[in-house]
Chain A
């Protein structure tokens, strides 16, 4: 008996040779990227990296100079209306109309997306308001909402038609810590249900926690893309800081360490030794074994990896040229 063929789903987002020009300024320069379905995929980069231009092209709000973009297999340049049916976009500092109540604002888009009759729409509106914890604000005017509440209403609007691909530009800006945590959970839950979330945030630690994969852009070019650890390995410093605490003979241990290959200057604070190390992971393991062979008892050993803030600063300072 032959096995049934495995269904092959097209990538949720497929960008090929994307270029966006503003006159002579190149905002996005031949970027190619693939995001599989069900991922929370982050986009990181300093100001002017080309993030918003990329998002606006994906959201069908801007025509690129050239390039091919597909959302779940739909060519957005050839068929933008179909793409809009399956895509939800939330812009940075998302505005709301001042003359509408929250439910009226949501109902406008529920109708535009053809979500059925009044009762069905009302039910869906209640669902999304519950998801963003704003049920009590249903009948207030949008203009009375705080910045964080406004962000959540727009997120609710983005969720209304159950998009398969969500493009969120700084969705957490203006939100309080609790709302941010809820947002993280909500996005993870959506991804578990099969929705692909493409998100940018300036709170990079949060992005690393939220995303399964991410990419880094600078000056319109894509520097790296992949899992969080892979990107960190690729763009983080090769040199890392090691810190260990010995129970005795700290001076001897410092002298021994200073003689090992790849080790920088060792600083001693009591029993704690800190130094830069630029050799391989095997050499790092041999370092610890060596200390033990010297009969120096090690009570703790810690490696400080580059944080995403470090990476972004380096990218912004041009250490990683495209």
Chain B
């Protein structure tokens, strides 16, 4: 008896199961009729307008429906598909039938692929329903093969990435509605919040979306007159620079997405292999931190010298002439602060994933005692994540420092330099915040951490911002209050290290002392909490050994 191998997608029982349930004539028929109506309307109305009202030549008129159709396709695949994957996965767990799949001798990878490709089968069918219109437009509009193949390749790889996000959300979130909303929010965020971060030097984030390839190939998807403008823009940024290497947008987007796709597959594989396993192992989490730093730096560093990394340059270029432009100090500080904040948040999320719960710790200790070990193996889920947090903090601080040192260099900030203690300061910010978070999580569990993040992380920023908005006289007090939040620490650190001539006087005076005061306190808290955790773990182990 041979169960299906992962690569035999046509024989995957889970895909075949969803082919039966999600492609029934009744359910699919209604969806297909609505999709054909929407796609037909978009195609015929825009084409007719272009032909008869716009008097465009036929080739140009045939290209006009392509963009609206692509929006419809993205809606179907990205939003409906992702939501269906997340909701469907939670639904299986909700109904209780997921355990049956765990009991089959299929490999974890076969199961991951089965749910990934099976759950959104109806959405793939609806997408296929729009393709005849698109194919007509591509053919009659004479869109080159390389252009549409690149765009649709990335459309499909992005779809896989977002569906995997939905699958992870569906595996982690227990409530079907919440899983649906979380996955939709992630995709929405990728197309709204993340592109804004990409404009502030974190360029790599935009490669998780369809935008870069779409912008690269856009000139072929619009009437030829309009395409000329896009071609000019494209010539200005001809390829993706990654450290010293050059790639096309398509190749680099695929490469970036492949890293995340692999990580998500590992998460799901681990959960299928063992339902109580952490989503990521400690080594993988630390590796992911290194990979993220490499991606962020690899994309950002080559853009610093030509000035393309600065958002103000892009604005200047679009609105005015870019000649005579120089970036302000506050812009540089903001970008450095944002980099640090992203490193901190990523480290906290990974810490949340790899830190053992109290239950895991008890089980791990008892298992270790039974096996004659003094503690669980270093890389097991039950082992402390202290060393992993330490490694991630050091990696994050190193990446942050490299970015800051490259930005504040002779190219744009002549006369400015980072103090020699900068790497230590960055290390302190990430270590203090990370170790506080870790110690709270490992000693008291998620509820206490949630309260800490709410009241020490978000509340000071919200209250401080409200105070600062009320009056200039309260600005100093508001900045001291905001400085209490570990999330403000990366921004305050960057503001404390550089010349603060661009800042208002009150801010320039308040931020450095507030930063150092709160950072000292956070560091002391981290040491106290870490010591407390160590003592607690020792006491628990001793108490159990004596039973």
Contact = CB atoms under 8 A, between A and B. Distances in A.
Contact of A19 (B13, B97, B366): B366
Contact of B105 (A23, A66, A108, A112): A112
Given A61-B275, A81-B107, A84-B105, A108 B16 contact: yes
B282 to A, nearest CB: 18
Contacts of A81: 105, 107
B17 A113 contact: no
A100 B102 contact: no
Contacts of A109: 13, 100, 104
B95 A104 contact: no
Interface string A94-107: 11111110001000
Contacts of A94: 96
Contacts of A100: 17, 20-21
21 contacts: A17-B370, A23-B359, A23-B362, A24-B362, A62-B276, A63-B276, A66-B371, A84-B104, A97-B92, A97-B95, A97-B97, A98-B95, A99-B22, A104-B17, A104-B20, A104-B21, A112-B4, A113-B105, A114-B3, A114-B105, A161-B1
A89 B95 CA distance: 17
B367 interface: yes
Nearest to A100: B21
B236 interface: no
Given A19-B366, A63-B276, A100-B20, A85 B13 contact: no
Interface in B295-353: none
A221 to B, nearest CB: 15
A114 B4 contact: yes
Interface string B251-294: 00000000000000000000000111000000000000000000
Interface in B29-78: none
B2 interface: yes
B358 interface: yes
Interface string A63-96: 1011000000000000001101101010100111
A157 interface: yes
Given A23-B362, A63-B274, A157 B100 contact: yes
A243 interface: no
A259 B21 CA distance: 77
A95 B22 CA distance: 20
Contacts of A22: 359
Interface of B: 1-4, 11, 13-14, 16-17, 20-22, 92, 95-97, 99-107, 274-276, 358-359, 362-363, 366-367, 370-371
B107 to A, nearest CB: 7
A111 interface: yes
Range, interface on chain A? 35 or more
Given A81-B107, A97-B97, A108 B366 contact: no
Given A99-B21, A100-B17, A60 B103 contact: yes
A115 B21 CA distance: 21
Contacts of B106: 112
B203 to A, nearest CB: 42
Given A21-B363, A61-B99, A108-B16, A113 B21 contact: no
A81 B363 CA distance: 24
A132 interface: no
A59 interface: yes
A85 B1 CA distance: 9
A235 B2 CA distance: 46
Contact of B366 (A65, A95, A96, A98): A65
Given A91-B96, A108-B13, 9 more contacts: A60-B102, A65-B363, A84-B103, A104-B20, A104-B21, A109-B104, A112-B105, A112-B106, A113-B1
A99 B370 CA distance: 45
Nearest to B108: A81
B216 to A, nearest CB: 41
A82 B106 CA distance: 10
Nearest to B544: A24
A22 B21 CA distance: 37
B2 A114 contact: yes
Contacts of A66: 366-367, 370-371
Contacts of A87: 103
Interface string A123-137: 000000000000000
Given A23-B362, A63-B276, A81-B105, A115 B1 contact: yes
A98 B22 CA distance: 12
B278 to A, nearest CB: 13
B3 A96 contact: no
A96 B97 contact: yes
Contacts of A112: 3-4, 13-14, 101, 104-106
A21 B103 contact: no
A322 B276 CA distance: 29
A286 B208 CA distance: 90
Contacts of A59: 103
Given A23-B362, A115-B1, A95 B13 contact: no
A256 B463 CA distance: 92
A122 to B, nearest CB: 14
Contacts of B22: 99
B274 A23 contact: no
B367 A65 contact: yes
A31 to B, nearest CB: 14
A161 B2 CA distance: 12
A114 B1 contact: yes
B238 to A, nearest CB: 50
Contacts of B16: 108, 111
Contacts of B3: 112-114
Given A61-B99, A109-B104, A21 B366 contact: yes
A167 to B, nearest CB: 10
A263 B243 CA distance: 96
Contacts of B102: 60-61
Contacts of B370: 17, 19, 65-66
Contacts of A97: 21, 92, 95, 97
A85 B363 contact: no
Contacts of B367: 65-66
Nearest to A91: B99
B114 to A, nearest CB: 9
Nearest to A21: B363
Nearest to B360: A23
B236 to A, nearest CB: 52
Among A17, A96, A98, A113, chain B packs the most CB atoms within 10 A around the CB of A113
| From A91, A96, A97, A100, residue with most partner B Cβ within 10 Å | A97
Nearest to B17: A108
A261 B374 CA distance: 58
